[in-house]
Amino acid sequence: MANHFTYQCTDCGKIYDATEVRYLCPDCSAAQNPEMPPKGILKVQYDYAAIKTAYPTFSELKSRGFIDILPIKSLSSLPRLRVGETPLYTYEKEDLFPFSLALKDDSQNPTFSFKDRASALVSAFAKENGLNTLVAASTGNAGSSLAGMCASNGQKAIIMVPEKAPLAKLTQIMMYGAKLVPVKGTYDDAFDLSIKATKAYGWYNRNTAFNPLTIEGKKTVSFEIYEQMQGQLPDFIFVPTGDGVIISGVYKGFEDLLQLGIISKIPILVMVQSEGSDNLVQNISKEQFKIKPSNTIADSISVDIPRNFYMAKQFLLKYNGQTLCVSDDEILEASKVLSKKTGIFSEPAAATAFAGCMKYHQNGWIDSEQKALVLLTGSGLKDLKSVQGIIEMPTSVESDLEQLKNYLP
């Protein structure tokens, strides 16, 4: 039973077997408009009825490493680096807000971002299928993540990034030994080039949404949230969103648990985007997709064409998700509050989710008896430049107590 899975197109519903590498539904993606989000995104499906019969409890699934609901043959195919099992910090009422809050800190993954969940699974699948060269387009986190996982698993990584990606992330990619390819233009330009290279050279592509296994890796965070909260799921989960893949992964994990009868309902997921890159939120209710060029301090979620738009939209509508946009100023303020009040320094993309939670509180949209969880997806050390405007480095002093007094509160 383990690893029996199929792919289902989220548009036409057609089922594809897992006997070969698959990316998009060939029928739905055939006439793809490059100026629109891709059609034909594939969703991984399992024999939930059989799994439920064989392993009816969460603890039984966990004891097997969730292998029955992962698209790989063996856990030994995963990189040696420890991915997942990241801390969940809880705050009671009045610690930070007048409601209970939990912070899921995925910056504690090996390359300091949530993206390791997807990269580890993609790397494992590639290893099992004899695919030794992996490629990804990235604004930084997915690229550094894939580079790190490939270094751990003895594979070659080729990372294409927009030329203005943050230096810290580019440094990571280089230090892991990957081939870095800066691309003139935006993330979308890097994405398109990586697809062309995949077709031309037969590399295995990790790109979010394009590769359906990225969502399968990201969904594991939902299993951890269920376990760490001892089955008492929060009322709201705030998720920073760019392409729509992370929020789809969170939904997919909970949907798996729903299909297996482990949970009876999915929490309200709040998709939080930056006002400067809100192409997913702004187009959900529109019949015709319209692109607004992105311009935000949160580079990891700065996307003109959200590649997982249609799947994310389906999940949000099916499970009554909510959406919210926050300004760059609100993101920076959230980053400052989060750091000073909790000791967690998150990059702007991650702080976007906390900014969303703060905005819900300010508007009275969470009552005192409810619980909220914020998904923090990346370390603040990934992008130091973004926060320079909200801090002031002190000048040096002599080794003298009199001068020191000027610094004392």
Beta-carbon contacts of 40 under 8 Å, excluding residues fewer than 6 positions away, are 9, 10, 11, 12, 24, 25, 26, 27, 28, 29, 32
What are the phi and psi torsion angles at 130 (to 5°)? 65, 30
Q: What beta strand segments (E) does 300-358 contain?
A: 322-326
Tell me the H-state helices in 180-259: 187-201, 213-218, 220-228, 245-259
Predicted pLDDT of residue 3: 47
Say if residues 24 and 38 touch (Cβ distance below 8 Å): yes
The span from the CA of 151 to the CA of 65, in Å, is: 23
Say if residues 351 and 390 touch (Cβ distance below 8 Å): no
Predicted pLDDT of residue 383: 81
- The encoded tokens of residue 295 equal 């311009």
The span from the CA of 83 to the CA of 67, in Å, is: 15
Element (H, E) at 120: helix 116-128
Q: Tokens 């739905």 appear where?
A: 28
Say if residues 243 and 307 touch (Cβ distance below 8 Å): yes
Q: Could you tell me which of 405, 38, 85, 401 has the C-alpha nearest to residue 221? A: 85
Q: Could you tell me which of 294, 196, 204, 192 has the C-alpha nearest to residue 242? A: 294
Number of residues in the chain: 409
- What's the CA dihedral at 105, 110, 115, 119 to 10 degrees? -150
Q: What beta strand segments (E) does 55-142 contain?
A: 88-91, 100-105, 133-137
- Provide the CA 239 distance to its chain's centre, in angstroms: 8
Say if residues 297 and 331 touch (Cβ distance below 8 Å): yes
Q: Could you tell me which of 215, 264, 261 has the C-alpha nearest to residue 54? A: 261
Element (H, E) at 402: helix 401-404
- The encoded tokens of residue 104 equal 């899921």
Write out the chain's pLDDT in tens, 409 residues.
Answer: 344 899 999 999 999 999 999 999 999 999 888 889 999 999 999 999 999 999 999 999 999 999 999 999 999 999 999 999 999 999 999 999 999 999 999 999 999 999 999 999 999 999 999 999 999 998 878 999 999 999 999 999 999 998 888 888 889 999 999 999 999 988 889 989 999 999 999 999 999 889 999 999 999 999 999 999 999 999 999 999 999 999 999 999 999 999 999 999 999 999 999 999 999 999 999 988 999 999 999 988 988 999 999 999 999 999 999 999 999 999 999 999 999 999 999 999 999 999 999 999 999 999 999 999 999 999 998 888 888 888 888 888 889 898 888 888 7
Residue 87: left if φ>0, alpha if ψ -120 to 50, beta else—which one?
A: beta
Say if residues 132 and 109 touch (Cβ distance below 8 Å): no
Predicted pLDDT of residue 384: 84
Q: Tokens 């480095």 appear where?
A: 393
Residue type, 2: A
CA gyration radius for the chain? 21
Say if residues 241 and 355 touch (Cβ distance below 8 Å): no
128 CB burial (10 A radius; 0-12, 13-18, 19+)? middle
Predicted pLDDT of residue 1: 37
Say if residues 26 and 16 touch (Cβ distance below 8 Å): no
The span from the CA of 66 to the CA of 301, in Å, is: 29
Say if residues 142 and 136 touch (Cβ distance below 8 Å): yes
Predicted pLDDT of residue 124: 98
Q: How far, CA to CA in Å, does 18 sit from each of 23, 50, 72, 208, 313?
A: 11, 18, 11, 19, 25
Enumerate the domain spans of the chain: 88-112+214-390
What are the phi and psi torsion angles at 408 (to 5°)? -80, 145
Decide: helix, strand or coil at residue 220. helix
Element (H, E) at 273: strand 268-274
What is the topology classification, in CATH, of domain 88-112+214-390? Rossmann fold (3.40.50)
